[in-house]
A = this chain, B = another copy of it.
Amino acid sequence: MANPLIDDRDVEFQLYEVLDAPALTRLPYFADHGRDTFDLVLGATRRFAREVLFPTYRPLDEQPPRLVNGRIHVHPRLREVFPQLVALDLIAAPRAAEVGGQQLPLTVYTFASAYLMAANLGAYGYLGLTQGAAHLIEAFGDAALRDTYLGKMHRGEWLGTMALTEPQAGSSLADVQTTAEPAPDGSYRITGNKIFISGGDHDLTENVVHMTLARIRGAPAGVKGISLFCVPRLRPGTGAALVDNDVATTQMIHKVGWKGLPSLALAYGERGDCHGWLVGEPHKGLAYMFQMMNEARLMVGLNGVATASVAYHEALAYARTRTQGRPASAKDPTAPPVPLTRHADVRRMLLRQKAIVEGGLGVVARASFYADVAAHGEGAAKERAALVLDVLTPVAKSFPAERGFEANALALQIHGGYGYSSEYLPESWLRDQKLNTIHEGTTGIQALDLLGRRAVGKGGAGLQAVAAEIAATCARARAAGVDAAWIAEVERAVGVVGALTAELAARGLRDPEAMLLHATDYLDLFGTVVVAWSWLDQAAAAREGLARAGDAGPDAGFYRAKLAAAQYWIRTELPRIDHLAQLCRSGEDSYGALDPDWL
């Protein structure tokens, strides 16, 4: 049986049984939609992902793009399928009709994209980056920029990049040094170097548009002097002609995964002729970027979920068909060997993967739902959704990255010696996954962002909003007849988070570094609780489903597996939080006080 990439039944469950995605269509922005249009988008995307995109995965992994005479050439198979990928019309799908979009809920877009990511993360990357770049132009660019770029980018005729990182600065965007010199024509001359620019050049489309962070000459130091520029590879010249804009590819980095998508070092203005157009106001570039960052981080979280999902399904199919050994209780050596799934430890590894994959998907899906309400809802609901989204984002980004990597390692482990070979695919997904703990803010940065800003900001309003949402889930679970002990455990966990956060916030008033010393443990704790919330949600929906469908219906197994995964997460993982809270609270200072010269 072919790998399903993402489980269709689970998508249906999460969209229509856990969440109430059609409720979004009561908001005016989404009014033209309904379950029928959602299912059309999902159907077309998953078909393309399985039948066309997934078969390109191995060839693209084996043969990365080539840098020849300063230009990047992608794999010929990608050139063939890319027009079909664009034809799904997903780049602008969530955007407004007035800019060529379909006003599709991000929630639905999220599930559709998950199939594409699971099929071929690198190939999907071009779409995601272009969407982000176009969104920046739409939100902050002037009419001239929108006219020039938006349509072409939304139609996938020109693709976009996010050009933030520089070799000397890495994660520290405050140290961006690329400069922008005002020119008489109202544009700027850009000079500088960027690195790790995904999709920074290719031969899929005629042009590439780099959303570039740079400093206008004389700007203040640090984050307050950074502006956003639109810098195309080819700039509009006279008439329809395009002129080379002096952005050169100086190096292709040999990434260990995502091999369909080149990661490049770019040099701007080596000939002094690189034109950039200011997007929005001067010195606000980083603020603009951060306004888009929540969505970008959700998409990285979804990368993590999708990459763990495809590997989980591969491992499940392997464990079902591969026979090996006998259970501990079987003593007859002539009895035939049993499928791997008969061994409890293999079921443990499978259930753990399921808990990570579907728990992670639940969190990203919920975050997308809040993003839809925060963007297009009204009044208190809109405000509350924005608060919840703000706090959930670091978890939705980092949990699937960190735990997804663990899940991917388990998928390889289940394949045994075969898993350790490139004849089988799990090792390639393990490579793909590792990037997600690094790009769009490392896990350490997510942790500082969560504990240092989001969890304690606005007087803790975000955390309170999350607690209120979890309380609603607990009420639903109680009504559905979910095991009371699970509900109590989740309620207790919310209390632990609240008390711990208050204590750390108080500590931070005196000593911010002491508050943040165990930020990574705090992120781990918080993520474990949020995923437990998702599993309680799913348990409630599963109980409701079982009540509807009956214990012997065709869906009964599906619901029972959901309950098993919920039990696993709430009873096996969630209790870890007490240890983590103790670490955060104790101020255990072994590495805090460590002089690196001792090492």
Interface residues of A (CB under 8 A from B): 165, 169-172, 174-175, 195-196, 220-224, 253-257, 263, 316, 319-320, 322, 324-329, 333-334, 337, 339, 341-352, 354, 405, 409, 412-413, 416-417, 419-423, 427, 430-431, 434-435, 437-439, 442-444, 447-448, 452, 512-513, 516-517, 519-520, 557-558, 560-561, 564-565, 567-568, 571-572, 575-576, 578-579, 582-583, 586, 588, 590-599
Contact = CB atoms under 8 A, between A and B. Distances in A.
Given A254-B423, A417-B196, A579-B576, A334 B598 contact: no
A350 B596 contact: yes
Contacts of A588: 567-568, 571-572
Contact of A447 (B345, B438, B448, B561): B345
A416 B166 CA distance: 13
A442 B557 CA distance: 30
Contacts of A437: 413
Nearest to A339: B596
24 contacts: A170-B325, A170-B417, A174-B333, A175-B324, A195-B417, A222-B334, A223-B333, A254-B422, A256-B420, A339-B596, A345-B520, A348-B520, A350-B596, A351-B599, A405-B409, A413-B442, A417-B439, A419-B438, A420-B434, A430-B434, A560-B595, A567-B588, A568-B588, A575-B582
Contact of A564 (B255, B257, B516, B598): B598
B422 A438 contact: no
A253 B350 contact: no
Contact of A558 (B263, B419, B598): B598
Contacts of A254: 421-423
Contacts of A519: 345
Contacts of A564: 590-591, 593-594, 598
A442 B422 contact: no
B439 A412 contact: no
B345 A444 contact: yes
Given A324-B169, A568-B591, A596 B341 contact: yes
Contact of A434 (B409, B423, B452, B594): B409
Given A253-B421, A346-B444, A591-B351, A598 B557 contact: yes
A513 B327 contact: yes
A197 to B, nearest CB: 11
Contacts of A595: 557, 560
Contacts of A438: 413, 416-417, 419-420
A448 B325 CA distance: 13
A183 to B, nearest CB: 27
Nearest to A354: B599
B325 A423 contact: no
Most buried by B among A517, A582, A598: A598
A538 to B, nearest CB: 14
A350 B579 contact: no
Contacts of A558: 598
Contact of A579 (B328, B342, B579): B579
A222 B335 CA distance: 10
Contacts of A175: 324-325, 337
B591 A348 contact: yes
Contacts of A253: 417, 421, 423
A593 B146 CA distance: 58
A598 B567 contact: no
**Top 10 closest A-B pairs, CB basis?**
A222-B333, A341-B596, A172-B325, A561-B598, A568-B590, A557-B598, A345-B444, A347-B591, A567-B590, A221-B333
A561 to B, nearest CB: 4
B599 A350 contact: yes
A598 B588 CA distance: 43
Contact of A583 (B325, B572, B599): B572
A255 B253 CA distance: 23
B417 A316 contact: no
Contacts of A591: 344, 347-348, 350-352, 564, 568
A276 B220 CA distance: 79
A174 to B, nearest CB: 5
Contact of A337 (B172, B328, B571, B593): B172
B325 A171 contact: yes
A216 to B, nearest CB: 16
Nearest to A316: B599
Nearest to A415: B438
Contacts of A571: 586, 588, 590
Contacts of A333: 174, 220-224
B598 A255 contact: no
A438 B576 CA distance: 27
Nearest to A447: B345
A166 B223 CA distance: 60
Nearest to A583: B572
Most buried by B among A327, A345, A444, A560: A345
A121 to B, nearest CB: 13
Given A170-B417, A172-B337, A344 B598 contact: no
